[in-house]
Structures are given as structure tokens and as C-alpha cells.
């Protein structure tokens, strides 16, 4: 998907410019979200939109004297669909701001955002290069590198010598694997095997068997949010929780959304993640309760925060520009923002437009009757390692 060539946008620069200029005279600020509400990564869209909607519910739908209108479009987890939707949002709906989702979608939309000068918040993508693809991009999600670098270092220093990697076969998986490999081997570890599992309808079993055959101390696993439940079931079915092979990874593999249904076999799994539903702060306690209340009991995961904090950067930027939606002015206003999120303290690096956040080492434990990722160490203000 990453290598897919961009097809020319099909809309002249003049048309896009005329469309966006028209919108600025109005009193409504339109924010278009292009998110994966159905298809392979539907679980991702559900979380990020829940986060965005909650922010508006809590902070009101008026900023700097302008009414906020949220328009959510379902890209069906298909980049070509996303590009068409973004084009319609820019030209027909005259949106002032875009909020986009998964990596392939962000890559597909980058030329449109640049050409139309539409400030665009990356609310889901975890791939390093994405934020470089348009000067209009600002990221509020995370990078897999932030988590994998911390995990690689921790594993090597905590008795894990040989690791087999099992990675969902698309850009964020490749990046998680490469960064883990770099930091783990630098700290003295060895990678025995790197296995790639298809993104759509994954069957992990044969890969797990093959990885286990090399008798590693641990498996480093990246699956996207929404696939952790399936992964855990197959990991347990293969008897791997009893084999002595430890399971480690970025936070996606013990995703808070799926974790309650994964079963006690997951107890003790260690991950490096940017958010845990048990993060101990008043802000987070309120956040978890509010998301549950508004979404039939759904537990928020790390993906939801990209939407919640994504709306925060849009609101704060509008306050700074006094409601003006000029693309460059909005992006400039987002640079350097610093605030307390339910995940902890975060900021936008003014040079890279990328998120800086704590990465937490967590262990799956039972809190009351439910499984949670309990934080046991904090690595503060982690930058994307590919841009350090």
C-alpha cells in the first residue's frame, strides 16, 4: 500500500484555492474527518471518532466565536476512497481542517492537503515518514518507533536475548520491526526471525508456530488495534503462553479495547505504549468514564486519544488565530503546543510537527475483575527516534 503510486488529484489548484477561500468568510468552521469506520480497520475508526466527539461534547461547539461542524466520512480502509472523500470535503464541503486516520490514507491525502493548504491533523497514523509528506500535517497520534525503541532497549536489559518478530505486513509493522531490531541489537540482543502476517483477515497460527520453532526468549509482535483479540486467541491455542516464550510488543498487542476479552493467559505480557486506560490521573479517570458513557461501555484505547487530542490542537489553534483558518497560520499555531492529555503530558515538536509523549512500560494485570495494562516505568517526552 505504501508503495502505491499517487494518481494526480484531478482537481486544479485554482479550483481548490477558490473553494477554500470561500469558506473563510463563513461563521462555521468545518472539520472533515476521513476515518476507517468500516473494513479491515473499523475498530480504529470507531475509537478515534469517539475521542473527537467527546472533545467537542466537553468543550462546546463554539471556538473563537465560530461554530464547529464535524463531518465524518468513512474511507472503508481504502486509500483511493479516502482520497476521493478528502477531495469532496475540500472542494464541495469547503472544510477548513481535515483529520485523517491510518497510514495509507494519510499518504494518499498528503498531496491534496498541500495543494489546498488545508491544515490536517494526523489522528491515527503511527508511521514516522507520514508527517513529512505535507507541510500541512501535524500529528497527535504516536509513532511505532517511539514504542519499539523503548521496548528494544528494555528487552535487552531485562534478560531477553533472542527474539522472533511477528509483524502485520504494512508500513507501521515494518517500522515497528525495524526500530525494535535497531535498539534491541544495539543493546546486545539477537533477532532470530522476522515474519510478516497479511493485514487483511490474518491467520497468525502458522507464523506463531514457525517463530516458536526457533526457541526465542520472546516474540515481538505488532498487530494493529482491533486484531489483538484474534492474535491472543491463536497465541493461546498454540500453547505459547505455556511454552516459556514471552510476548512483548508495542501497546497495540494488548490494546485496551480488546484486552478485557483476551483471557487470563495474557497476564504478565509486557508492552511499551503511549496510553493505558489505567493511567493514574484525574484527567484520565474522567476520560475513561466519559468515553464509556457515550459509547455503550467501550473502553478507550490509545487510538481514541489521537482524536481527542487532535480536536484539542484544532481548538487551540483557532483560539490563537482568533478564528482565522488560513492553513499556514493554523499549522504555525499548532507548533509547540503543550498540554496535559489523559495519556499524560504531551506536546507538538515545532520543528517536526510530530508528537512528543511519555512512553510507559506496562504489564498486563488484573485490576478488580478486568485485565489492564498497568504502568510500571515511564520514559518521559519521547521523540520519534527516526527524527531525533
Q: Helix/strand/coil (H, E, C) string of the chain? A: CCCCCCCCCCCCHHHHHHHHHHHCCCCEEEEEEEECCCCCCHHHHHHHHHHHHHHHHHHCCEECCEEEEEEEEECCCCHHHHHHHHHHHHHCCCCCEEEECCHHHHHHHHHHHHHHCCCEEECCCCCHHHHHHCCCEEECCCCHHHHHHHHHHHHHHCCCCEEEEEEECCHHHHHHHHHHHHHHHHCCCEEEEEEEECCCCCCCHHHHHHHHHCCCCEEEEECCCCCHHHHHHHHHHCCHHHCCCEEEEEHHHHCCCCHHHCCHHHCCCEEEECCCCCCCCHHHHHHHHHHHHHCCCCCCCHHHHHHHHHHHHHHHHHHHCCCCCCHHHHHHHHCCCEEEECCEEEEECCCCCCEEEEEEEEEEEEECCEEEEEEEEEEEEECCHHHC
Cβ of residue 173: shortest distance to ligand PHB, in angstroms? 8
* 44 interacts with ligand PHB by CB under 6 A: yes
153/257 with CB nearer ligand PHB? 257
Cβ of residue 321: shortest distance to ligand PHB, in angstroms? 29
Pick out residues in 295-334 that bind ligand PHB (CB under 6 A). Answer: none
124/359 with CB nearer ligand PHB? 124
Site string for ligand PHB, 161-190 (x = CB under 6 A): -----------x------------------
125/149 with CB nearer ligand PHB? 125
Cβ of residue 19: shortest distance to ligand PHB, in angstroms? 28
Could you say which of 19, 102, 148, 218 contacts ligand PHB (CB under 6 A)?
Answer: 102
Q: How far apart are CA 291 and CA 351, in angstroms?
A: 32
Cβ of residue 75: shortest distance to ligand PHB, in angstroms? 12
* 31 interacts with ligand PHB by CB under 6 A: no
16/179 with CB nearer ligand PHB? 179
82/124 with CB nearer ligand PHB? 124
Q: How many residues bind ligand PHB (CB under 6 A)?
A: 11
Cβ of residue 148: shortest distance to ligand PHB, in angstroms? 11
Cβ of residue 251: shortest distance to ligand PHB, in angstroms? 8
Could you say which of 33, 52, 97, 225 contacts ligand PHB (CB under 6 A)?
Answer: 225
Pick out residues in 105-164 that bind ligand PHB (CB under 6 A). Answer: 124-127
217/354 with CB nearer ligand PHB? 354
96/271 with CB nearer ligand PHB? 271
127/341 with CB nearer ligand PHB? 127
Instruction: Please list, in sequence order, all residues whose beta carbon lies within 8 angstroms of the beta carbon of residue 281, skipping any fewer than 6 positions away.
Output: 340, 342, 344
Site string for ligand PHB, 249-268 (x = CB under 6 A): ---x----------------
Name the site residues for ligand PHB (rule: CB under 6 A): 44, 102-103, 124-127, 172, 224-225, 252
Amino acid at each position: 500500500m505504501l508503495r502505491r503510486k499517487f494518481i494526480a488529484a484531478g482537481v486544479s489548484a485554482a479550483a481548490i484555492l477558490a473553494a477554500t477561500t470561500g469558506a473563510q468568510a463563513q461563521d462555521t468552521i468545518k472539520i472533515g474527518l476521513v476515518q476507517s469506520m468500516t473494513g479491515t480497520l473499523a475498530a480504529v475508526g470507531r475509537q478515534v471518532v469517539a475521542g473527537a466527539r467527546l472533545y467537542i461534547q466537553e468543550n462546546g461547539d463554539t471556538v473563537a466565536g465560530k461554530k464547529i461542524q464535524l463531518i465524518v466520512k468513512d474511507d472503508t480502509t481504502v486509500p483511493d476512497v479516502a482520497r476521493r472523500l478528502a477531495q469532496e470535503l475540500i472542494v464541495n464541503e469547503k472544510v477548513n481542517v481535515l483529520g485523517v486516520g491510518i497510514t495509507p490514507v494519510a499518504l494518499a491525502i498528503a498531496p491534496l492537503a498541500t495543494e489546498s493548504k488545508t491544515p490536517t491533523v494526523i489522528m491515527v497514523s503511527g508511521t514516522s515518514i507520514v508527517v513529512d509528506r505535507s507541510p500541512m500535517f501535524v500529528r497527535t497520534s504516536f509513532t511505532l518507533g517511539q514504542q519499539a525503541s523503548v521496548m528494544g532497549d528494555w528487552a535487552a536489559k531485562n534478560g531477553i536475548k533472542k527474539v522472533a518478530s511477528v509483524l502485520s505486513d504494512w508500513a507501521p509493522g515494518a517500522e515497528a520491526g525495524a526500530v525494535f531490531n535497531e535498539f534491541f541489537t544495539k543493546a546486545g540482543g539477537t533477532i532470530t526471525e522476522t515474519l510478516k502476517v497479511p493485514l487483511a483477515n490474518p491467520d497468525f497460527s502458522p507464523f506463531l508456530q514457525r517463530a516458536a520453532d526457533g526457541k526465542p526468549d520472546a516474540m515481538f509482535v505488532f498487530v494493529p488495534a482491533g486484531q489483538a483479540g484474534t492474535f491472543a486467541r491463536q497465541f493461546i491455542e498454540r500453547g505459547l503462553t505455556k511454552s516459556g516464550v514471552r510476548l512483548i510488543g508495542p501497546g497495540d498487542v494488548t490494546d485496551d479495547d480488546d484486552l478485557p476479552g483476551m483471557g487470563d493467559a495474557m497476564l504478565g505480557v509486557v508492552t511499551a505504549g503511549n496510553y493505558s486506560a489505567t493511567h493514574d490521573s484525574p484527567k484520565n479517570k474522567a476520560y475513561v468514564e466519559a468515553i464509556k458513557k457515550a459509547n455503550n461501555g467501550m473502553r478507550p484505547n490509545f487510538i481514541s486519544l489521537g482524536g481527542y487530542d487532535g480536536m484539542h490542537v484544532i481548538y487551540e489553534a483557532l483560539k490563537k488565530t482568533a478564528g482565522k483558518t488560513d492553513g499556514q497560520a493554523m499549522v504555525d499555531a499548532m507548533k509547540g503546543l503543550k498540554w496535559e492529555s489523559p495519556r499524560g503530558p504531551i506536546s507538538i515538536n515545532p520543528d517536526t510537527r510530530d508528537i512528543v509523549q511519555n512512553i510507559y512500560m506496562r504489564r498486563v494485570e488484573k485490576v478488580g475483575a478486568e485485565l489492564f495494562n498497568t504502568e510500571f516505568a515511564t520514559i518521559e517526552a519521547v521523540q520519534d527516534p527516526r527524527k531525533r
